Structure 1
């Protein structure tokens, strides 16, 4: 993980339970003897997320509706720290940095980490009314986010920046965790694979019986707009690159997560086609998992 990631040394379960006592019933003892949770249990994952956000990021309140994406906090924090490193190329104080989180979701995870860690301000956009309502509730119920985070509705689901970035609006950066899958059936199949892998790992650790894969859609939540779009990740990012030309005078750096390394070549081709002045790929690692985000500017 990034050296500034607060979660690089694991989860201090005792301290987390003190910050959020509701986590305590979900703590289990792994085969190694370390305290952990059952990551195939969606309620346990949600409780862990809440504890992390209250313990590390000065929140008093965090919640998401049933069926909405519950993000892994450590990996999300790495994206924020990677952007912070990118912005060191610019002579700016943290107080002047303003970010746009495209697809902020009900969880509002990126504005939470960015505002409390670096004192940045954020606008979050989304097409989903329930996500917008929940993100606004998170913004209004936490002192650390006061005057730091606002939410805008993207009224046209075919657009990414258009309609959200106003003609006089200025952003230091944009960020996005794009829909990964090409269809609902592909998203469900991916979720089932993930659940099955976690269940096998759980059995190896000796922390319980294997969870039934048939409940995969319950274990890893997410609305359709969070999980899939026509053409999948690559088509979404290429559409984002095309739209970025229209708002190039309003944004210093455009960034987006890229899950598949095979997508990098066509993404770079698109960025070059639209004559961006710079293009960077920032690698990130969480354990054996490697991820990255692409960044470009005009």
Structure 2
């Protein structure tokens, strides 16, 4: 298994969100954000990072300012994803794909990605499309999430022809049923439900919000490197599943073997480093060509995603 190394606290070099927020510029792109602005003890503009509405409007401003997304909103109670951390996953996938190709980072709509669990926010397809001009199929089991994601895509002309949303009607499946016989994907990606129960998810969220509230003023002009803490709310299927993350990814691995010739790289975020070895053992049961652990800086900690492929380089190039 190959594993990359990354310095703690460093976002990907191509990430547009390195450094502090320019709130003056963001307000110009999203005037609604102005009502959320406060001053930290040093007198710098900021927002209350423990307030869900402020974070939602910050996301809206970031998408408008950096990615020209004019319309973005999510239903109450659904996950509000931190933009800097989410786009880092996209950038590292781009690096992964570039290892198979001549000419650097691949761009263009012929590069097709599959996002498992796109959510109502549809954040990965949006960021991938706007960052690299890739096309996407986003998948979710939640009817309202599918409806909302479809609305977001159709409302923004710069992505409307590049992203398709599909509903997974079989809640016992992850990949299967979502990859048609004619589909060829350069990669799949997934931010799986990390918790084994909603009780565990709720406890984690309460602790996170408590910590954010405690440090909201002292860190009010915080750097982007802490932004990945900002996940509020979330539906049960977004946060938890029976057996937690490891059970979910093991099922994904088993299903991936049945569509192994249709996806260049399967990838999935892992919240805990101790889950890597058990999942590596699960992959050993299948005839994979390569397995990699790609590390990323997700705020104040190191995160990672697992990547595996059943194809050799030439076969992957044919898909790309």
TM-score (structure 2 length as normaliser)? 0.87
Q: Kindly provide the CA deviation profile for residues 71-125 of structure 1, in whole angstroms up to 9, marking residues without a partner as x.
A: 0000001000000000002237522210000000000000111001100000000
> Does 1:111 find its partner at 2:125?
yes
**Residue pair 1:32, 1:205 contacting (<8 A) in 2 also:** no
Show the counterpart of 2:148: 134
1:19–1:206: structure 2 CA closer, same or farther, 3 Å change rule? closer
* Coordinate RMSD, CA, aligned: 1.4
Q: Aligned equivalents of 1:165 and 1:286: distance in 2?
A: 30
1:147 aligns with 2:157: no
Select which of 98, 103, 107 maps to 1:94: 107
Q: What is the 5 A alignment of 1:232-247?
A: 232-247=244-259
2:52 matches 1:38: no
3-state SS in 1 of match to 2:12: coil
2:48·2:217 contact (CA, 8 Å) conserved in 1?
no
State the shift of 1:205 in Å. Answer: 4.8
Mapping 1:54-203, distance limit 5 Å: 54-91=64-101, 93-95=106-108, 96-202=110-216
Consecutive unaligned residues in structure 1, runs of 5 or more: 208-218
Deviation at 1:32, TM superposition (A): 3.4
Tell me if structure 2 keeps the 8 A contact 1:181–1:187: yes
User: What is the CA–CA distance in structure 2 between the aligned matches of 1:180 and 1:287, rounded to whole Å?
Assistant: 17
Select which of 19, 26, 34 maps to 2:29: 19
Question: CA offset at residue 290 of structure 1?
Answer: 1.1
Runs of 4+ residues deviating >4 angstroms: 203-207
Larger CA deviation: 13-22 vs 190-199: 190-199
Aligned residue for 1:252, secondary structure, equals: strand
Q: 1:168 Cα shift? A: 1.9
Which among 260, 285, 310 is matched to residue 248 of structure 1? 260
Question: What is the count of residue pairs matched by the alignment?
Answer: 287
**Aligned partners of 2:174 and 2:81: how far apart in 1?**
21
Q: What are the residue-to-residue correspondences of 1:2-13 with 2, within 5 Å?
A: 2-13=12-23
Give how far 1:200 is off.
1.5
Q: Secondary structure at the match of 1:255?
A: strand
Deviation readout 1:120-179 (Å, 9 max, x if unpaired): 000000000000000000110101102100100101111011110012211110000000
Q: Is the 8 A contact 1:30 1:36 kept in 2?
A: yes
| CA deviation after TM superposition for structure 1 residue 287, in Å | 3.8
2:297 to 256, 275, 285: 285
CA shift, 1:274, in A, is 1.2
Residue 205 and residue 167 in structure 1: after superposition, are their counterparts in 2 closer, same or farther (change >3 A)?
closer
| 1:30 CA drift (Å) | 1.4
Higher RCO (C-alpha under 8 Å, 6+ residues apart)? 2
Q: Deviations over 1:40-68 (max 9, x none)?
A: 11110100000000110111100000110
The alpha carbon displacement at 1:203 in A equals: 5.4
